Structures are given as C-alpha cells and as structure tokens.
Amino acid sequence: MKKLFALLLAIVMVVSLAACGATTDGDKVGADAGSVYWLNFKPESDGALKELAAMYTEETGVDVQIVTAASGTYNETLIAEMDKENPPTIFVVGNTAAVNEWKDFCYDLTDADITKELNDEYKLYDADGKLCSIGYCYECYGIIVNKALLKEAGYEIEAINNFETLKAAAEDIHARADELGFDAFSSNAMDSSSSWRYTGHLANLEYYYESVDDPDAWKECPAEIKGTYMDNYKALYDLMVENSTVDRKDLAAGGLDSAAEFKDKKAVFYVNGNWEWSGLSEVFAAEDLTMIPYYCGVEGEEKAGLNCGTENYWAVNAKADEADINATLDFMKWVVTDPEASAIAVGTFGVMPYTNAVESTNPFLAQASAYASAGNYTMPWVTNFQPNVDAYRETLVGAMNTYNADPTDANWELVEAAFVAGWATQYAAVNE
Amino acid sequence: MDKKKKKKKAHSHAVVNSKLLRRPIKRAGWFFLLPMVAAFIIGFIWPFLQGMFLSFCKFTTTSSWEWVGFKNYVRAFKDSQFMYSFGYTALWTVVSVILINVLAFTVAYALTQSLKGTNIFRTVFFMPNLIGGIVLGYIWNMIFNGILSYFDTDILRETKYGFWGLIILMCWQQIGYMMIIYIAGLQAIPEDMMEAAKIDGASAWKTLTKITIPNVMPSITICMFLSITNGFKLFDQNLALTGGQPFAINLDGTSVHTTEMIALNIYNTFTESGQFAKGTAQAKAVLFFILVATIGLMQLKTTRDKEVQQ
Amino acid sequence: MAKTKTKPLGKKRSLIGLTVAFSVICVIYVMPVFLVALNSFKKNSFVKTETFKWPTAESFAGFENFITGVTFGGYPFWQSVLYSLLITVLSTALIIFFTSMAAWYISRVNSVFCKVVYFACVFSMVIPFQMVQFTLARTADTLKLNTPWTIPVIYLGFGAGLAVFMFTGFVKSIPLEIEEAAAIDGCGPFRTYFKVVFPMLKPTIISVAILEIMWVWNDYLLPYLVLDKTKYRTIPIHIQYLKGSYGTVDLGATMALIFMSIIPVIVFYLTCQKHIIKGVAAGAVKG
C-alpha cells in the first residue's frame, strides 16, 4: 500500500514538473492593448489560423488566441466559452437562427472599417437592422467530375448540361462499372460524416427553385414550404445513390470514404464543395477536374451555375472589453488586407469577399466565376433558412434511411413529410 | 436471525460508547469534512442550484437569462419525444437490470464452484470496465454491423436491434463488475450454514433460494442500485451505438427517435435552436433527476428492508 | 460405493464443461479490445469494410495511423498524455484522501448536518452531467479551476458522491472497539484516523480508485468545457479533434489513439489486478 502511494506521489511530481516545463506562458501585453480570442468553427483551419495569430503577435505585440471547437460541438462550446472571464471576441454567427440566438452578443459592425472592405452582400442583420455578422469567405459546391475517367467511359464533359444527359451518362457508366473498373458516383453515406450532402446541399435545389418562383415569400425564413420541386430532388437523389459504388441499403451504416474512392479513381462523380480541393490536389492537377451544377430536370437548367454562399460569418463580441473589441476589429482588418496574411487566410478558406484580399487559386471557385460570367445563374445557399436545422436534418436522414432500405413510393412519402411538413413543424417549434 | 442480533448489538454499542470518539472528531471537522464539503459545493451544489434556477428561465448563456416561470416544464411535458424516451428508458432499464444481475449472479455462482482458471476468468470478465463508453459504443457498432451485414441489414434499420444491441453492450461491460461483487457476497456465506443445509438434505434449488440469495442480499442491493442508476443515466453508449436511430417519421413531419434514451434526449434538446430550447433541456434534466432519485431511493429502501428482515 | 464414485466424476465432467464454456466466453470478451488493436494498423477506408479481417498487403498501414494520431493538429500529443495523467492521478488522490476522511466523519459524528451531506452525495450520483455542464464550466472559470493542476478540485466535487457513498458503507462496518481502544490509548482523531482507520480502508480505496480512474481518464465533456482551451488538452479531447468540420473521421488514426489510450490502463490493471479484484469485492460487499 505504502509502495503504491509512493509510486503515485512520484508520478504526480514527475508529471507536474514535466508539464510545468512544457507550458510556455508568453508574456501578456498590458490590458490597454487589448487581446483577440477567435473561437474557430473549422478544425481544418486550426493550423493556418494559429500561424496567422503568431504572425500578428510578432508584428504588433497584440495577443491573439485561436481556439477551435471540436467538430459538431460549436454551439455548446460557444455557450460555455461566452460565460468565461475571457470570452471569445470573434465567433461565428452563420445563419438567421444563430442571429436570433446571439444578437445580444453581436457588436454592430455597420461602421466598422472591415465592413467597408467587404465587396459582396454577405451580411446578416437582426430584426432591428443591426449588422450582426459579415461573411469572411464563401464557398461553392456541385458535382466534382474526373474528366479523364468520363472520357474513358466515352462521354464529353461539354455534352453534360442537364439532367437527361447526366442521367444517361451515369446510368451507362454504372451498368458497365465492372468492365470499366470504376463507377459513376462515389459513395456518400447517411451518417453524420456525409449526410449533409443530401439534407443540405441537395436539398438546396428544392428551396432555391421554390424561392425563384416566389421571391417575396423567401425574403426571410418562410413558415412553411410547398415542396414543388420534390420530384426533382427525388430524381437526382435516386440517380446519385442508385448509380454509385455502394448499395443504397448500406448507406445508413456509414463509415464509407467517399473522398478516398474518388482519389483512387473508383468513381467519376463526387458530390462535394471547393473545400475539398486541398485534399484532391494531392492526387489531381487542376485541369483534371471540374465542377458541374446539380442538374435535376428543371426547365432552363442548362443555364444553371454552382451553389455559392457561406455559413462562415464573423461576429464580434459586444460584451467584451472595449480595448479587446478594438484590437479584434484591427486584427480582422489586417487578415483581409495584409497581403501575406490574406494569402494564408485565403489558402485555408477559399475566397474572401474583400477588396484587398489576395485572389483565390482554387479551381472550383474559378469554375464558379466562369459560370457566372457566362451568364449562368448562381444558386445561393437557401439552406441557411432551415429552421431548427439539426433536428430538421436529423429527421430527414431518418426518413431517407427508411426509404433506402426499401425504396417504395410509400417510403418516399415519409421523406416528403420530413422535408415539407417537417419544415413547418420545426419552424413552429422554434418561433413561438 | 443471528445476523440481526449481531447488528443490533453493534448498534447499541455505538450509541453507548461513541461519545468518547464523537466529540474530538467533531472538533476536527474543519479538517475531516470541510475540504470535501467545500469542493462538493463548488463542483456540484452550486452548479446544480444554478441549473435548477435556469430551468425556469430562457437563456443564451448562463449569465444572460430571463425568467419565464413554468413554461419550460410545460414544453417538456408536451414534448412527445421526451415522453417516449421516458418509457423507452424505463423498459430498457428493467430488462437490463434483470439480465445483468441474473447473468452476473450466475457467472459468480459458477466461478465460486471449484473451477480451474477462476482467476483468469475474473480478470478477463472485469476488463471491459476499463474502456470508456463512447469507445465501447463505436467498437460494438462495428461488431454488430459486421455481423448483421451477413443478414443484409444493419443496426440502424430496426428498433429492436438498437434495443438488444445496447443490452448486449451493457451486459458485456457491467457483468464483470457486478460479478466481482456477487462473488464476494457468495464467499461471505458461512460454511456451516451450507453444511447444515446439505445434512438436512435440502435440494440445490432450496439451498439457493433459502440460504444463498438471502445471504447475498447486501450484494444484490448495491448491484441493483448501480445498474438502475447506470441504466437511467446511460448516455455515451447510447449516442455512439445508434444515436437514437431508426426514426419513425410521421406524415405531419414530426418524428420519433425510437432508440433515444432520456439523457440523450436532454443533450439533443440543448443543441436545438429556439429561445426556449436550453431552458427546456434544463427542465427535462430536473424532471429526470427527480425521477431517478425517487426510483433509486425507493429501490435502496426496499432491498435494504429485506436485508434487515432476514 | 459405486454411486459415490460416479458422482464426483460427473461433477468433474460438468466442471470441465464449464471451464471450456468460460474459456470461449473469455475469448469473446477480449475480442473488442483486440479489434481496436487490429484495426489501428489498417488504412482508414478498410476499417469499416474489413473490420474483422486480418490486415492484407493492401489494407495494412504500418504505424502510419499512430504517426498521424500523434502528430496532427499542431498540438503535441505527449502533452495531452501528461495532462491526462496528471489530472487522473491528482483527482483520484484528492478524492480518496478527502472523501474517505469525510465519510469517516459522517458515520462517526452522524449529526443532522452529516445526514444532509450524505444524502446530497447520494443524490448527486444520479445527476446527469448535462444538467450542470454550463453552470459548472462557468463556476470553474470564475474560481480559476480551469488548469490541469486545479481541475481535480472540480472532480473532487462532482465525483464525491459515489466515493462518499462507498466509504461510508465500509466505515459503518468497522467495529468501533478498535477506534475506542486507540482513543483510550490517547490517540487524537488525527492519529486514530491515519494510523488506525485509513489502513483498514484499503479495499474500498482500491475500488473507489478504479472507478474514479476509469471515469477521469476517459472523461471528455467535463475537461472539454472546463479547461482553458487555449493551453490544455487531454487524450479524449485530442481524439475528438480528429473529426473534421463536416464530420469526416480518420477511423484508422482514431483506433490508433484509442489503442494508445487503453494501453496504460490495461498495464495498470494487469499489474494491480489482484488488488483491484479483491478491493472491488471487499469494498462493495459492505456498501
């Protein structure tokens, strides 16, 4: 017993000594200079942001802390951190629901210097017209195509410009998969690592075309939706899961590695966004790939472009000390104007909609601009309106799993219920 | 009978002589009791009271709240998912408590017979206690899906898979711990009692029900208490194994998460958007606490009564 | 004569049957741990598809997963290990030291206040952490209990319930005569406790220790919400950061990290398993 205690004591001492040596408390600059604390949303960007922070501290002496919330826990993390003595000064308020929740904590950015740098309408206001948050990057998504494989299967990318041509190519490739050695779509599972492709990205086309029909109803989050384009949603969804490397029945269990399949050249089409470029660039050159819109059989879709928008909006904590707020605003401005800093930021975020930020080198974003300048319509992220988004999407995933296990019309009705009636239900739950 | 007498005797003894001990100990209370009570207040009582308070508020962070009275409680009671999770958790707990205790007792009984390798078995059976809940959930998710894939299905497809899957997981994890407690109880039964039963020609069944079980009642008490509270509080394993799936979708767009237990339901409520969501989650936690506390104490009382009676 | 001879033989045979059955169950019992080890050597995309298969030339990843797991994210893994160790050892030591004293005080003094404390402890055992997660994080931050050196106080507070419950149960069963004899010999409460009572608590100490160690070592949410995230991570937090922002997980690396986090616990368990099993048995039966 004594030995055990001696051992424990020894461990404690050694460990605390070692840990003491490990921590390097940098000298904090006086409180007057203020400090910056950015509660970051994307685990992938953690490294780049820490680099930015170190650079800024070296240049100006202002202390910048970057903390990244673990995946899927941003909300809890924010609630806990906001209560602390040193709360975050920059945090993410990415959609209308978040604005309603956090508006009391949002510093009015209307007159901030950084807002003048913003060259696009990525701004979120609360009901009183306060500018709560501004976009710090934007993204696009669509169907990523491996051009070489498509050609090998006997199709030209230029010939695919609507749902019929996409369907013909995909079904043909899937039918000849064994012979070709690759399939049409890579597998996208229904677990939390992938289901957003269907409940977020794909769902967007339904909301978008509905909003085109009735723009007034979609100025803010509508209390209910019509589901006019559910057939198009179904058509594209069925096409994606029927003609993929994995049986649709196995999608629910998850654990599939869609990106790896695409990189191993096992599939021609890969449903994802521009943020995948850094991973894909390990294997592909920019000219090997392209991104095409979600074609779903809507009239005139030959003129469709990519889905562009963002959920990445900066908000500044209004309840922080004034010195900290000022330091934070200076830091944000520096990130989007300093050539070296904005290069790092653009490298991790894609495109930053700021006048003096460096240009993006991301080929998919270039593709998005090419579509836009060719006069095609860009589809904004209407999904940002999804009420009670986690619960809404979860229900939709549940319904889609039932449908995948047994793809009957009766089961599709459940998907429709979750999609259309579920919107109204969640809207009512949140807005009472 | 013998035991009861002994207990009483010890008790009266304590009353008569403990004054000798009591006063000096009491004077040293600042040393013995204070540190633990102070930490308990910081780490539990104060956050708990704040939590109680917040269940009557709507709040964004814990320092920016607004009083709303019983509104959150009304919402909690109106929430059909909460009610479902309530029933599901109760059913699951009953089944798991019975299975875990019966199996643990059986294994313990078998291992107290003169068996070769008893020590190795004990060591191995206890081992699952060393792995955290989330990890266990993921491992078993892989195993179940690996097995179910031979039948062209998976664990998220049917409620009963999720139900029994979680039962198997928890049995696997807890039997070892409970088994050790039962073994200790079994070994504490006086030899002469068993001998006497043998001489009287009592059948094995009679020996078990009349002598063995009454004598391990203290072990049963503690095992029941642990497995009931564990069952009601179960969170990590539930989240990692099925996360509430499969969902039953209603045509009005609502859904029932058919394997979602109460703790997971509370957790999910916290992450919902809407100004009352967090207050409602807090109210659910209070209701849940009242329920578990009542059941736990009731159980403790009933089995403790049985202990004294024999 | 013949009859008595066959009976033990039959019994022996059934015992052999039992032994065989238990051996099989044992193998099944170790399987999950073994699977983690096995899969930590496979490439990410094979973990889900070939869970039960031996790594092949195609799926074998060598130590790549371990390297990824240790090096990713710009936070030194060895620091998380040290913090995890520090927090676990310190918290367990604190809990054992202070709750055993408190339990002794509670059962010996047995005043109304003691009863209140005892029942509060029992109540705290059934509280789901979610109920206090945000309020606890705030309290801890205000009192600066957000470093690996001070967070054990939070663990002492939140984990006191179970420990007090178990210690009190055991202390009640210790005959008073021993302490009385010590008191008559002129021992004050301090010497009585540390020289006489504390050594007798050994079995319960072990069973409390194992429960607390397992809890603290594997705990994720509490340190995640409470610790100063700009500086400190524990192993479970480190593992969480393997998840990408769209929920993609490097399963191979996750398995490798989980495997590494289980090893110390298993080594600890196997070296002290005799004490542990005795402790759990002796400590619990009196509860």
| Whether A304 and A200 share a structural domain | yes
- Please classify residue A410 by burial: count the beta carbons closer than 10 Å to its beta carbon, then call 0-12 exposed, 13-18 middle and 19+ buried: exposed
Please tell me whether residues A272 and A161 are part of one structural domain: yes
Whole-angstrom CA distances from C214 to B73, C217, C224, C282 are 35, 5, 17, 19
Q: Which chain A residues have a beta carbon less than 8 Å from that of C245?
A: 41-44, 71
Minimal Cβ distance to B272: which of A388, A395, A397: A388
CA distances from A368 to A140, A378, A383, B207 (A): 7, 8, 19, 81
Note whether A241 and A169 are same-domain residues.
yes
B303 versus C238: the higher-pLDDT residue is C238
Segment C35-48 mean pLDDT = 82
* Residue contact C285–B113, C-beta within 8 A: no
Do A114 and A60 share a structural domain?
Answer: yes
Residue C15 has pLDDT above 80, yes or no: no
CATH number of the domain enclosing A55: 3.40.190.10
Nearest-by-CA chain B residue for C156:
B39
CB contact at 8 A, A65 and A87: no
CATH 1.10.3720.10 intervals, chain C: 75-286
* Cβ distance of C120 and B110 shorter than 8 Å: no
In a domain, residue A91? The reply is yes
Provide the residue range defining the domain that includes A332.
31-138+310-355
CB-based contact B47 C139, cutoff 8 Å: yes
Task: State pLDDT tens for residues C47-79.
Answer: 777 777 888 888 888 888 888 888 777 788 889
Q: CB–CB of A147/A289 below 8 Å?
A: yes
Q: Is residue A2 part of a domain?
A: no
A175 in the same domain as A274: yes
pLDDT the model gives residue A237: 94
Domain residue spans of chain B: 2-70, 72-309
Q: For position C179, what pLDDT does the model report?
A: 84
Are residues C52 and B146 in contact, defined by beta-carbon separation less than 8 angstroms?
yes
B40 with C117: Cβ contact below 8 A: yes
Range B72-309 has CATH code 3.40.50.970: no
Could you tell me which CATH number the domain at C75-286 has?
1.10.3720.10
Tokens, residue A233: 């949603």
Residue A173 maps to a domain: yes
- Are residues A176 and A50 both part of a single domain? no
φ/ψ of C63, rounded to 5, equals -95, 15
Closest listed residue to residue A400, CA positions, set A258, A261, A200, A214: A200
3-class DSSP state of B147: helix
Structure tokens at A406: 């047994």
- Candidates B241, B249, B254, B275, partner chain A, best to mutate (most A CBs within 10 A): B249
Check CB contact of A256 with chain C, cutoff 8 Å: yes
Residues A326, A297 within the same domain: no
Q: How far is CA B293 from CA A151, B4, B217, B221, in A?
A: 67, 28, 21, 16
Note the pLDDT of residue C87: 95
Whether residue A414 sits in one domain with residue A333: no
Asked whether the beta carbons of B259 and B166 are under 8 A apart, the reply is: yes
Residues of B in contact with C128 (CB under 8 A): 233, 235, 263, 266, 285, 288-289
For residues A234-251, one letter each, b for 16 or more C-beta atoms within 10 angstroms of the residue's C-beta and e for the rest, the string is: bbbbebbbebbbbebbbb
**Nearest by CB: C132 against B14, B51, B146:** B51
For residues A266 and A128, membership in a common domain is answered with no
Place of tokens 């000022």: A326
Q: What is the CA radius of gyration of chain B?
A: 24
CB contact under 8 A, B249 and A82: no
Name C191's Cβ contacts closer than 8 Å, sequence gap at least 6.
Answer: C182
Q: Which chain B residues are within 8 Å of A76, Cβ to Cβ?
A: 270-271
Domain identity same for A52 and A102:
yes
Q: Which helix (H) or strand (E) holds B65?
A: strand B65-67
Q: In the numeric block, which tokens belong to residue C177?
A: 């005569």
Least CA distance to C239: which residue of chain A?
Answer: A70
Least confident of C4-8, C29-33, C80-84, C179-183: C4-8
Q: Which residue of B has its CA nearest to A404?
A: B157
- pLDDT at res. A34: 87
- Cross-chain residue pair A417–B253, CB shorter than 8 Å: yes
End of a domain among A355, A385, A413? A355
Chain A residue numbers with beta carbons less than 8 Å from the beta carbon of B253 are 395, 417-418, 420-426
Q: Is C52 helix (H, G, I), strand (E, B) or coil?
A: coil
B196–chain A nearest CA distance, Å: 39
A387 contacts B155? CB cut-off 8 A: no
Q: Identify the domain boundary among A293, A320, A355.
A: A355
Q: Going residue by residue through chain A (432 aa), what tens digit of pLDDT does each one get?
A: 455 555 555 555 555 544 444 444 444 444 467 899 999 988 888 888 999 999 999 999 999 999 988 887 888 899 999 988 889 999 999 888 888 889 899 999 998 888 988 877 788 888 888 999 999 888 899 999 999 999 999 999 989 999 999 999 999 999 999 999 999 999 888 887 788 889 999 999 999 999 999 999 888 889 999 999 999 999 999 999 999 988 888 888 777 778 888 998 999 999 998 888 888 888 999 889 999 999 999 999 999 999 998 888 999 999 999 999 999 999 999 999 999 999 998 888 878 888 888 888 889 988 998 998 999 999 999 988 888 888 899 899 989 999 998 899 999 999 999 999 999 998 888 887
Q: Is residue A243 part of a domain?
A: yes
pLDDT tens per residue across span C20-35: 888 888 888 888 888 8
- Do β-strands B247-249 and A289-292 pair in parallel, antiparallel, or remain unpaired? unpaired
A395·B155 Cβ contact <8 A: no
Q: In chain B, which stretches have pLDDT less than 70?
A: 1-21, 114, 303-310
**In chain B, what residues touch C280 (CB-CB under 8 Å)?**
126, 177, 180-181, 184
- Asked casually if ipTM beats, i.e. exceeds, 0.95, the reply is no
What are the chain B neighbours of A402 within 8 Å (beta carbons)? 246-247, 249
Residue among C79, C137, C149 minimizing CB distance to A22: C79
pLDDT digits (tens, 9 = 90+) for C130-171: 888 899 999 999 999 999 999 999 999 998 888 998 888 888
Q: Which residues of A touch B60 (CB under 8 A)?
A: 79, 82, 101-102, 104-105
- For residue A55, being part of any structural domain is answered with yes
Query: Which residue in C has a C-alpha nearest to residue A190's C-alpha?
Result: C247
Q: Is A30 left (phi over 0), alpha (psi -120 to 50) or beta?
A: beta
Neighbours of chain A (3+ CB pairs under 8 A): B, C
Partners for C (CB, 8 Å, 3+ pairs)?
Answer: A, B
Q: Answer whether B239 touches C (CB < 8 Å).
A: no
Does B233 sit within 8 Å of C126, measured CB to CB? yes
Q: Are residues A57 and A71 in the same domain?
A: yes
The whole-angstrom separation of Cα B247 and Cα A147 is 39
Q: Clarify whether residues A299 and A159 are in a common domain.
A: yes
B touches which chains (3+ CB pairs under 8 A)?
A, C
Domains held by chain A: number: 2
What residues of chain B, 262 to 291, have a C-beta less than 8 Å from chain A? 268, 270-276, 278
Q: Considering CB atoms only, which of A84, A193, A257 is closest to C247?
A: A193
Q: Nearest chain A Cα to C220, which residue?
A: A70
Provide the total of helices (H) and of strands (E) in chain B, helices listed first: 16, 4
- C-alpha distance from residue A304 to each of A161, A250, A376, A377, A380 (Å): 9, 32, 5, 5, 12
Chain C: give the shortest CA distance to residue B216, in Å: 9
Q: Which residue in chain B has the smallest CA separation from C111?
A: B26
**CB proximity list for B246: less than 8 A, separation 6 or greater:** A398, A401, A402, B156, B157, B158, B159, B162, B258, B259
